[in-house]
Amino acid sequence: METLKTHAVHGGTLRYLKHDSAVTGTSMTLSVFVPTGTGPFPVLIWLSGLTCTEDNFTTKAGAYAAAAAHGLIVVAPDTSPRGEGVADDPAYDLGQGAGFYVDATQKPWASHFRMESYVTDELIALVDAEFPTTRTRSISGHSMGGHGALTLALNHPELFQSVSAFAPISSPTRCPWGEKALTAYLGADRAGWARHDAARLIEAGAAHGVYDDILVDQGDADPFLTDQLKPDLLVAAARASGQKLTLRMQPGYDHSYFFMASFIADHVAFHARRLKG
């Protein structure tokens, strides 16, 4: 991986990196925070939401004081492949910046939009090869990235010790953002959509016996709460399957990074306990 820039922060080192991806067929960018010391350290992967790059979480979430205190590497990749020759759409909720953490099967997306494989195969292997990791990791994210964190953890439980989310798209098969993206990337046959729907996966028992708890924070002043995010579907799914899920409705908080910055330390501690316990 090529280092684009480096910053000292909270005693550790933050690097912005670029590499050529064999999975997406494009250059991919990410940030990696490594705490002070020789390691090895467990890893927290963060997945961002619609329109974001690797920079939004890195500069706005304020995660690195907690990560330094708990001794965690934090990895924040871009949200999609980008560049000349990569399919795109004029809308903010499809195409570049809106990969939805699935492997597309439909044209024109299938040749580059393979974000599930990118995160679970290539990114993890690269980070483990390039940084002093314990080869154990957890995953979290926001909005589209909260959907990604939940579904990747539920579909690949062998890779992750724990999972949490901020304001996730809880059931993409039942909201406009998800229906649009899944139709474009996976096709109109809804049979293939279920494995990318966190609520449906939890209801089917995918988390049972794997994750002792799933932490979800949601602001009650989020403008997308009712139509797009629908955390009540996660709660109902967890209740139906007997899965522990902690939904914290935070009064007055919206969908912005001010919300995440207010509670990110809780999520870092949640993962640190499971990665180091």
Catalytic member of 142, 147, 255, 271: 255
- Say how far apart CA 77 and CA 92 lie, in whole Å: 18
- Say how far apart CA 58 and CA 275 lie, in whole Å: 21
Catalytic member of 78, 93, 217, 222: 222
Nearest CA to 24 out of 92, 96, 115 is that of 115
In the 8-state DSSP scheme, what is residue 98?
B
Catalytic member of 21, 138, 143, 171: 143
- Say how far apart CA 77 and CA 60 lie, in whole Å: 15
Active site residue 10: no
Distances in Å between the Cα of 117 and the Cα atoms of 55, 93, 125, 247 are 21, 20, 11, 28
Query: Are the CB atoms for 119 and 45 separated by under 8 Å?
Result: yes
DSSP H/E element including 202: helix 198-203
Q: What contacts 253, CB < 8 A, 6 or more positions away?
A: 219, 220, 221, 222, 259, 262
Cβ count near 76 (within 10 Å): 28
Distances in Å between the Cα of 183 and the Cα atoms of 187, 231, 240 are 5, 22, 27
Angle, CA 134 vertex, CA 129 and CA 136 arms, to 5°: 100
Query: Are the CB atoms for 170 and 200 separated by under 8 Å?
Result: no
- Say how far apart CA 51 and CA 37 lie, in whole Å: 34
Active site residue 222: yes
Q: Which residues are catalytic?
A: 143, 222, 255
